[in-house]
Amino acid sequence: MKTRITADSTCDLSPELIEKYDITIMPLSIILGEKAYADMLEINPKQVFEYVDSGKGICKTAAVNVDEYINKFTELLKDCDAIVHINISSEFSACYQNACIAAQEVGNVYVVDSRNLSTGIGHLVLDASIMASQGIDAEVIAETLRKDAARLEVSFVLDTLSYMRRGGRCSAVAAIGANFMQLKPCVEVREGKMGVGKKYRGNLEKVIKQYVTDRLKDRSDLDKKRIFLTYSEAFPKEILKEVHSLVDQYGEFEEVYETSAGCTISSHCGPRCFGILFYRKA
């Protein structure tokens, strides 16, 4: 049985990983003014930041619609027996709902609510592809992903709250207060929703080093098969070198992937956001 793996562009996987694991990506829409662009196909994060910083307005995002899912699923099923599609958390977008409607229309499509975002989704997508290559039944793959989603530890540190504020995800007062006090909050995904964890203070390099240490040091529950280091477009590359050293010191993961966030995630998190994303043991 041949199973295709598809996912929303919010999984933030690199082009190299998408090609290696033969994944089909469904882009969300990035809306600047009155015009919509396909995430990472017709627009990149740098263009999003330039537009927002120019004062022309905020960047909006739109879910993949039902017709887009129907068309893509129908096309792919000409060359496979089934599809497993992984969505961004249903708490963040209508993508999951739309994909489910399309799946009912098309048939032989198993839709998974990742309950996550960014490369938290990416972990599930890669695991789905590995299982598909082993000939595991699509329904079994989908059920395994739904269980494994609860083991994901997904968090990221924001350098500024201004993009969250512009997108309506935090108040202006909170953003001003955090920026004034040099606070950099750690945002965590819990049960499909975003919540604020530890609030760090200081320059970005100091904060990121402490964040990585807090997340990995002296942990006995780490699943060490894979970790993603995911960042937005303007995150300083020199800090990444230090992050790698800390990850090697505390985590000893079998696979360490660097990925940059696409337009959807970047538009809410800003240009210097950074996160580490991994599984806990079962």
pLDDT at position 174 is 41
Residues 94 and 24 in one domain: yes
Residues 263 and 199 in one domain: yes
Between CA 147 and CA 143 the distance in angstroms is: 6
Residue 10 has pLDDT above 70, yes or no: yes
Higher-confidence position of 119 and 251: 119
Residues 127 and 217 in one domain: no
- What average pLDDT does this structure show over 130-134? 98
Residues 112 and 217 in one domain: no
Q: Which of 24, 116, 117 is nearest to 71 (CA)?
A: 24
Backbone angles phi, psi at 281, to 5 degrees: -65, 155
Binning pLDDT at 50, 70 and 90, where does residue 56 land? confident
Which of these three, 148, 174, 195, is where a domain ends?
A: 148
CATH number (domain holding residue 109): 3.40.50.10170
Higher-confidence position of 238 and 180: 238
DSSP β-bridge partners for residue 229 = 258, 276
Strands 256-260 and 222-231: parallel
Determine the 3-state secondary structure of 261 from DSSP: coil
Residues 111 and 27 in one domain: yes
Residues 69 and 162 in one domain: no
Which of these three, 148, 165, 185, is where a domain ends?
A: 148
Which of these three, 88, 116, 148, is where a domain ends?
A: 148
pTM metric for this prediction: 0.93
Angle, helices 95-106/66-76, rounded to nearest 10 degrees: 50
Q: Which domain holds residue 272?
A: 152-280
Residue 232 has pLDDT above 70, yes or no: yes
In this structure, of 5-14, 37-46, 48-57, the range with the lowest mean pLDDT score is: 48-57
pLDDT at position 182 is 66
Give me the number of domains the chain comprises: 2
Residues 191 and 261 in one domain: yes
Residues 58 and 161 in one domain: no
Residues 171 and 47 in one domain: no
Residues 17 and 135 in one domain: yes
pLDDT at position 164 is 67
Residues 137 and 158 in one domain: no
Residues 144 and 16 in one domain: yes
Starting at the edge strand that comes first in sequence, how are the strands of the sheet with 82-87 ordered?
23-26, 3-8, 82-87, 109-113
Beta-carbon neighbour count of residue 46 at 10 Å?
Answer: 14
Residue 23 has pLDDT above 90, yes or no: yes
Q: Per-residue pLDDT tens for 142-190?
A: 999 999 999 999 999 998 777 765 544 443 334 334 453 568 989 899 9
